[in-house]
Every structure is written in structure tokens, then in C-alpha cells.
Amino acid sequence: MSSLVHNPDPWAMISSLKITVVFSSYNGSKRLRRTLDSLVAQSLPHQSWELIAVDNNSADDTFAMLQSYGDKLPLIALQHPVPGKSGALNQALDLARGDLVVFTDDDIEADPNWLAAMLACTEANPDFGIFGGRIVPDWEADPHGQPFLGWIPMGSTFAVVDDPVSGPCDPTKIWGPNTAIRRQYLDAATRYREDIGPLPGGLFAMGEDSEIVLRLSRRGVKAYRCGDAVVKHFVPASSMTEAWVQKRAERLGYGMPAVFPEEVPPGPRLVGVPLGTWLESANWALRSALLYPLPSSRLRFWAIWKHNYMRGYRAGVRRYAPQADAAPIATGQEGRA
């Protein structure tokens, strides 16, 4: 691990730090400048906050890009050599000093009043410990003429929550690029699960940000939406296709048994998967096969989406919700015993 700290008197600032902003970046040099420039432009004085940015095993010049902002931001730049966003965020959490930890991504553009608005919201609502701001889509390509964008869950697909209303909210409506948690709840035992979250390469389980929020919620920590704390989340043109969104459904399904283990169906299992899940999977597989040759429609889209989701869900159940004591399915041999 290597780090770069730009702070003329860090120990003198500890007592005045209100916020620690945290993000991880993997091969993010081409998208980082916009994010970092928007942080430079924050109206909240730099003496009140710090930024901990982690280069997560990048092969490009991500770390050099971070270092180049060392004289413009109250920055701690780290390198985390093990692939995995969750582990990189945990490394940053070990160093966080602000009363409020604000999590974001390396592909956002923060409103100039983002941190000031988030701080004001949290100070006005001391009984809440989890906060989520507004996340506005920043489309690389024109979304008009893409009807499927009106069919999908924007939160789980693009981490977009374009809701200006402030008030108590369901913790499932808070998403990673604009999440804040009071540091008092992030003790040494409360960290991101490193077996879920983005990894380079193939299939990974989505939901690392939701999982930690829901874990805190189950302990009684309440969630609040701060509609005035706004970031734009970049949506590349490559993600604005039906095929990409339908493939993403598999990652979402893969992570659901880790995030919502209580929702895994009980009862007998076949090859590690509940019978009810197999029946639902077969239903969507049949619908998908029948509708796939037809022109694009909401019905066709959702059949394929659910087929991919259930494929991921089955794999997620095997990995994250094994049931060693599940009732076996009787075979003919067992029935004669």
C-alpha cells in the first residue's frame, strides 16, 4: 500500500473534520478528472472535509491522476493491490476521520453544494444514521428513442435515484454513489463484505452498498433522503442497450441471496437450490424462449431479464445461502429404505 497525504497540519484538523468522502477507482483515469474537478469546486471549505480515494489495482495511470490533485484537494490517495471494490473501500474506512462518511463513485459529477447540503441535512436530522442523496442520470447518449429505459428499475440498473424529496425513506432506496453513514456506526466490525461487490472479469455479486446499509438498518439505524444533496452519475452509451441491462440482471440476481438471505425460499432443495426457485426459473426460461424471436416489447424484455436474473439467483443461493440441513428430496432408493 502507498499513500499520499496533502494536509499542512493534519492533527490540528481532526477535531474540525465533518466529512470523509470515500471512493474506489479501477482503471478510472479517463473518467476521474470530471469527478475530481467537481470535488475541487465544493462550496464546503476544505478544512471541514477530507477525501480518501483508492486506486484498486488499476493497470492505467489512475494513481498518478489522483496524485496530481494533491495540491487542490484535502486528499489521501491509496493503492489497494487486491482486486475488489469492497476491500478497497474497507481500506479507506480504516483511515476515515470525519464524523460523516460519504461514499461515492469515480464516475460522478457532484453539485457544488453537494457536501454542504449533505452536512446540513444530517445535522438537521440527528436521529438518523444513514443518508442518501439525489442521483441524476448523466447520459452519454441521448436516451430518447430507447423505450426499454422506461421499463427498468433505474436504481439497481444505473444507481439512479432522481427524487428531489427529502424525508425518512426505505433503506433499499439508498444507492452507492450518494450514500452517507455516521462514522459512529462504522466500527471496526462494520465493514463492506468483501465476497460481494465489483470485481474485474466475469460474474460478480452486486449489492455491496445495499448490504451494509441494510445490515445497519436491521440494527435499528434509520435512513433519510437528502434531496438537496445532488450528484450526476455517468451512464455510458455502452450500458444503454437492452442486451447490457439484461446481462446485468444476472449480477443482480447473484447478489440477492447475500443482501436478502431471509428471502431465500425454505424447504427441500435440488442441487443446492430450493424447488420453488427451480419452478420459477423454469417458468421464466420458457417465457424467454417463446418471446425471444419476437420484436422488442416490454413483455419480451422482462421475460429475458427475469430469465437472466433467476440464473444469477440460483448461483447466488448456492454460494451465499447454502442450507446444509435442507430436507433431501426422496429418491426411489431412499423410499425403499
The separation between the first and the last C-alpha atoms of the chain, rounded to the nearest angstrom, is: 59
Domains in the chain: boundaries: 3-239, 242-320
Amino acid letter, 121: C
The answer to whether the CB of 36 falls within 8 A of the CB of 116 is no
180-198 residue pLDDT tens: 999 999 999 999 999 999 9
Does pLDDT of 4 surpass 70?
A: no
Instruction: Give the C-alpha distances (Å, rounded to integers) separating 263 from 54, 206, 220, 224, 266.
Output: 34, 16, 19, 24, 9
What is the rounded average pLDDT of the residues 202-208?
90
Does pLDDT of 51 surpass 90?
A: yes
Q: What is the CATH number of domain 3-239?
A: 3.90.550.10
**Phi-psi category of 159—alpha, beta or left, where left has phi over 0 and alpha has psi -120 to 50?**
left
65-90 residue pLDDT tens: 999 999 999 999 999 999 999 999 99
Q: Where residue 15 falls among pLDDT bands split at 50, 70, 90?
A: low
